[in-house]
Amino acid sequence: MKLLDSITFPSDLRKLSKNQLTVLCSEIRAFFIEKILKNGGHFSANLGVVELTVALHYVYDFSADKLVWDVGHQAYIHKLLT
């Protein structure tokens, strides 16, 4: 089973080791590339924030904390995790 399939809530990220987080980021990239190639959309803005988004969700609890993206198409990875 892929790690991405095991993420139901962003808080699930806190259960992963650093190595697993690295693997998860690779899985997110592969998933996103597959979807963009099939459906079209903004490519590089999202790939540039994969680790940032995973790290933010690892550290913060966005059910209580607030997160504002300055560009909407940078938020697709966030949407994927939530």
pLDDT in tens, 21-56: 999 999 999 999 999 999 888 778 888 899 999 999
In residues, how long is the chain? 82
Domain that holds residue 61: 13-81
Q: How far is residue 5's CA from residue 37's CA, in Å, rounded to a whole number?
A: 20
Give the number of domains in the chain. 1
Say whether pTM exceeds 0.85.
yes
Both structure tokens of 22 = 């690295």
> Does the residue 64 lie in any domain?
yes
Q: What is the pLDDT of residue 77?
A: 92
Residue that the structure tokens 């969700």 belong to: 57
8: phi then psi, degrees, rounded to nearest 5: -100, -40
**Are 21 and 35 contacting, i.e. CB atoms less than 8 angstroms apart?**
no
Q: How far is residue 61's CA from residue 54's CA, in Å, rounded to a whole number?
A: 12
Q: What is the pLDDT of residue 61?
A: 94
> Does the residue 6 lie in any domain?
no
